Chains A and B, each alone.
Chain A
Amino acid sequence: MARVRGLWDRYRSASPVTIALLALVLGLVVGAVIIIATTPEILNAWRGAFHSWGAPGHALKVTFDNVGAAYRSIVTGSIVDPPQFWHSVTTGRGWTASLTPLSETLTYAIPLVIASIAVGITFQTGLFNIGANGQAILGGVAGVAVATLVHLPMVLHLPLTLLAGIAGGVVGGAIPGLLKAYTGAHEVIVTLMFNYVASYFMLFCLLSTPLQLPNQTNAISRTMPGGTQLAPLFGTASGLRVNYGIVVALAVTVFAIWLLDRSSIGFEFRVTGANPHAARASGINARRTLVTSFLISGGLAGLAGVTWVAGTTHYIDQNFLQGSAGIGFTAITVSLLGRNRPIGIVWGSLLFAALEVGGSNMQANTGIPYDLATVIQSAIVIFVATPVLVKEIFRLRTLRAESIKVATAGWGS
Chain B
Amino acid sequence: MTTVAADVTVRPPLGRTQAIGWFVVVVGLFTVFGMGVGTGSAPHSTLTFTPIDVSHGAPWHLGNLTLPTEWTLVLLGALIVALGAEVLVRRLVKGAMVRVGLMAIVFLVAVLVWASRQPGPSQVPFINVTAILVGSAAITMILIYGSLSGILCERAGVVNIAIEGQFLGGYLVGEMIDSATNNWLLATVGGLVIGALMGWLLAFLAIRYLSDQIIVGVVIVTMFTGLSSYFNSWVLTPYPNLNNGNIASNLAIPGLMKIPIIGPTFFDETGFFYLMMILVGLVSFALFKTRWGLRVRAVGEHPQAAASVGISVERTRYVNVILGGAVAGVGGVAFAAIQGQFTPSITSGFGYIALAAMIFGRWRPSGAVAACTLFGVSAYLAYNLQSYQVPISTEILLMFPYLITIAVSAGLVGRVRPPAADGIPYSRE
Give chain A's interface residues, CB within 8 Å of chain B: 34, 38-39, 128, 130, 175, 179, 182-186, 188-190, 192-197, 200-201, 203-204, 207-208, 323-324, 329, 332-333, 336, 367-369, 371-375, 377-379, 381-382, 385-386, 388-389, 403-406, 408-412
Contacts and interface: CB of A to CB of B under 8 A. Distances in A.
A387 to B, nearest CB: 8
Interface in B402-429: 402-403, 405-406, 409-414, 416-418, 422-424
A8 B353 CA distance: 49
A411 B161 CA distance: 11
B199 to A, nearest CB: 15
Q: What's the dominant secondary structure at chain B's contact region?
A: helix
A188 B214 contact: yes
Contact of A406 (B214, B230, B234): B214
B393 interface: yes
A278 to B, nearest CB: 16
30 contacts: A38-B234, A130-B218, A175-B406, A193-B403, A194-B402, A197-B403, A197-B406, A200-B395, A200-B396, A204-B396, A208-B393, A323-B229, A324-B225, A332-B218, A332-B219, A336-B219, A368-B234, A371-B229, A371-B230, A372-B230, A374-B225, A374-B229, A375-B223, A375-B227, A375-B230, A378-B219, A386-B205, A404-B215, A409-B159, A411-B422
Given A324-B226, A371-B233, A403-B211, A201 B412 contact: no
B416 A409 contact: no
Contacts of A405: 212
B409 A410 contact: no
A50 to B, nearest CB: 24
B424 A410 contact: yes
Nearest to A370: B230
Contacts of B223: 374-375, 378-379, 382
B147 interface: no
A200 B214 CA distance: 26
B215 A385 contact: yes
Interface residues of B, number: 57
B312 interface: no
A363 B257 CA distance: 51
The 4 closest A-B pairs by CB, nearest first: A184-B413, A374-B226, A378-B223, A409-B423
A369 B229 contact: yes
B387 interface: no
Interface centre among A192, A323, A367 (most CB of B within 10 A): A192
A395 to B, nearest CB: 16
Given A196-B349, A382-B220, A190 B214 contact: no
Given A130-B218, A385-B211, A410-B418, A372 B405 contact: no
Contacts of A411: 159, 359, 416, 418, 422-423
Nearest to B416: A412
Contacts of B396: 200, 204
Interface in B261-280: none
Contacts, number: 182
A111 B227 CA distance: 24
B167 interface: no
Given A369-B229, A410-B422, A333 B219 contact: yes
Given A333-B222, A405-B212, A406-B215, A185 B344 contact: no
A374 B222 CA distance: 7
Contacts of B352: 189, 192-193
Nearest to A130: B218
Given A196-B349, A323-B344, A332-B222, A409 B422 contact: yes
B426 to A, nearest CB: 12
Nearest to A373: B226
A192 B399 CA distance: 13
B282 interface: no
B129 to A, nearest CB: 27
A203 to B, nearest CB: 5
Contacts of A130: 218
B216 A200 contact: no
A373 B412 CA distance: 38
A189 B403 CA distance: 11
Contacts of A204: 393, 395-396
B409 A189 contact: yes
Interface in B129-144: none
Contact of A207 (B359, B393, B411): B393
Contacts of A323: 229, 344-345
Interface of B: 12, 16, 159, 161, 205, 209-216, 218-220, 222-223, 225-227, 229-231, 233-235, 344-345, 348-349, 352-353, 355-356, 359, 393, 395-396, 398-399, 402-403, 405-406, 409-414, 416-418, 422-424
A200 B219 contact: no
Contacts of A183: 12, 16, 410-413
Contacts of B414: 184
B9 to A, nearest CB: 9
B219 A382 contact: yes
B229 A409 contact: no
B412 A385 contact: no
A382 B222 CA distance: 11
A179 to B, nearest CB: 5
Nearest to B414: A184
A329 B221 CA distance: 10
A385 B230 contact: no
A324 B422 contact: no
Contacts of A336: 215, 219
Contact of B234 (A175, A369, A377): A369
B93 to A, nearest CB: 13
Contacts of A388: 209-210
Contact of B214 (A185, A194, A403, A408): A408
Contact of A201 (B211, B348, B353, B395): B395
Given A377-B226, A406-B215, A409-B422, 16 more contacts: A179-B406, A182-B16, A183-B413, A184-B412, A184-B413, A185-B413, A188-B161, A190-B406, A324-B229, A333-B219, A333-B222, A378-B223, A404-B211, A411-B159, A411-B418, A411-B423
Nearest to A30: B223
Nearest to A194: B406
A386 B403 CA distance: 34
Given A34-B230, A409-B422, A193 B412 contact: no
Contacts of B398: 200
A294 to B, nearest CB: 14
Contact of B402 (A193, A203, A381): A193
Nearest to A405: B212
A379 B220 CA distance: 8
A38 B402 CA distance: 35
Contact of A369 (B211, B233, B422): B233
A179 B409 CA distance: 9
B99 to A, nearest CB: 16
A204 B209 CA distance: 44
B413 A378 contact: no
Nearest to A384: B219
Contacts of A410: 159, 418, 422-424
A409 B217 CA distance: 12
A38 B238 CA distance: 12
Nearest to A375: B226
A389 B205 CA distance: 9
B223 to A, nearest CB: 3
Contact of B409 (A190, A333, A404): A190
